[in-house]
Each structure stands twice: as structure tokens, then as C-alpha cells.
């Protein structure tokens, strides 16, 4: 399996419930396609550097998961169709990952720091190969 990270922006006029609905839907896609969710974190409302779909603010959500290429394709298709999602970017963090190494869901702080330390060298390595992935 591969490890991916998707950062996406949810429209600013969504309510708590909308955010929950988006989370459920997105997480449903991940688990429904045999993916494994590692972390799903809402980063709160932030000002955008430029207007996207006439909005100047948005809720950023960072999701970390394991899966295969078809999962990413399906996820991005869903994000494109969903009007609540303004923009997204997907990065591959690692090429071969053992799903056993990761706890399912639950954004624990301890796991967070661990994954950060582990990911950094990987990110650098994959930077060059990423371009085609996310430009799509």
C-alpha cells in the first residue's frame, strides 16, 4: 500500500454539520475502497491567499491515509463533484507501507509526532516524483 496525504479546502459558509457530513463522506470513500485512514484533522478556518470559487476563506482539512492509486482517483473525483470542496492537493508520502504499522483513525497526539518524524525524509525524496500526481 501507499501512503498519501490530501489537503483540501471546504467552503467557509459550511456549518459544523456540513463539516461533519464532508468528513463522513470522504472517510467513507477511503474505507470503502480498502483504504486505511491514518489521520483526519480539521485545521480550522483560514484566509485564502487568493479567491477560490469567489470565497476568500475556507476550512482546511488534512487527511493522511493508506491506499492504492484507484482510491486517490476516486477520492479526487468525489472532491471535484462535491461543491463544498473548493480545492484539494494529494501527495504521496511513501511508496510501500505496511498497513499493520498504523493505527486506524483516532488522531492521537503521540501518533502525530511519531508520524511527523518518520515522514520528513520521505517527503523530500518524493518531491520530484510528486508533480504529475497533484497537477492532475
Partner 1 sequence: MRRRRRAFPRRKVCRFCADSSLAIDYKDPKMLKYFVTERGKIIPRRISGNCARHQRRITTAIKKARHIALMPYTTIQPH
Asked if 62 interacts with partner 1 (CB under 8 A), we say yes
Q: Helix and strand tally (H, E) in the chain?
A: 3, 4
The smaller minimum CB distance to partner 1, of residues 17 and 135, is found at 135
Torsion, Cα 66 68 69 74, to 10 degrees, reads -80
* Residue 14 in the binding site for partner 1 (CB under 8 A): no
The binder of partner 1 chosen from 76, 88, 97, 102 (CB under 8 A): 88
| CA trace torsion 59, 61, 41, 63 (10° rounding) | 170
Nearer to partner 1, 20 or 53 (CB): 53
If the CB atoms of residues 7 and 23 are measured against partner 1, the closer one turns out to be: 7
Sequence-separated (6 or more) residues with CB below 8 Å from residue 77:
none
- Minimum Å distance from CB 110 to partner 1? 19
Amino acid at each position: 500500500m501507499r501512503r498519501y496525504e490530501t489537503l483540501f479546502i471546504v467552503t467557509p459558509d459550511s456549518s459544523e454539520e456540513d463539516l461533519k457530513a464532508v468528513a463522513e463522506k470522504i472517510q467513507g470513500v477511503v474505507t470503502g475502497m480498502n483504504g486505511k485512514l491514518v489521520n483526519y484533522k480539521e485545521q480550522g478556518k483560514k484566509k485564502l491567499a487568493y479567491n477560490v470559487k469567489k470565497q476568500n476563506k475556507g476550512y482546511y482539512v488534512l487527511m493522511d491515509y493508506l491506499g492504492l492509486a484507484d482510491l486517490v482517483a476516486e477520492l479526487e473525483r468525489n472532491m471535484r463533484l462535491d461543491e463544498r470542496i473548493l480545492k484539494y492537493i494529494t501527495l504521496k508520502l511513501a511508496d510501500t507501507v505496511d498497513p499493520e504499522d498504523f493505527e486506524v483513525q483516532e488522531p492521537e497526539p503521540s501518533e502525530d509526532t511519531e508520524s511527523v518524524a518518520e515522514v520528513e525524509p520521505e517527503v523530500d525524496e518524493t518531491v520530484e516524483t510528486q508533480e504529475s500526481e497533484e497537477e492532475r
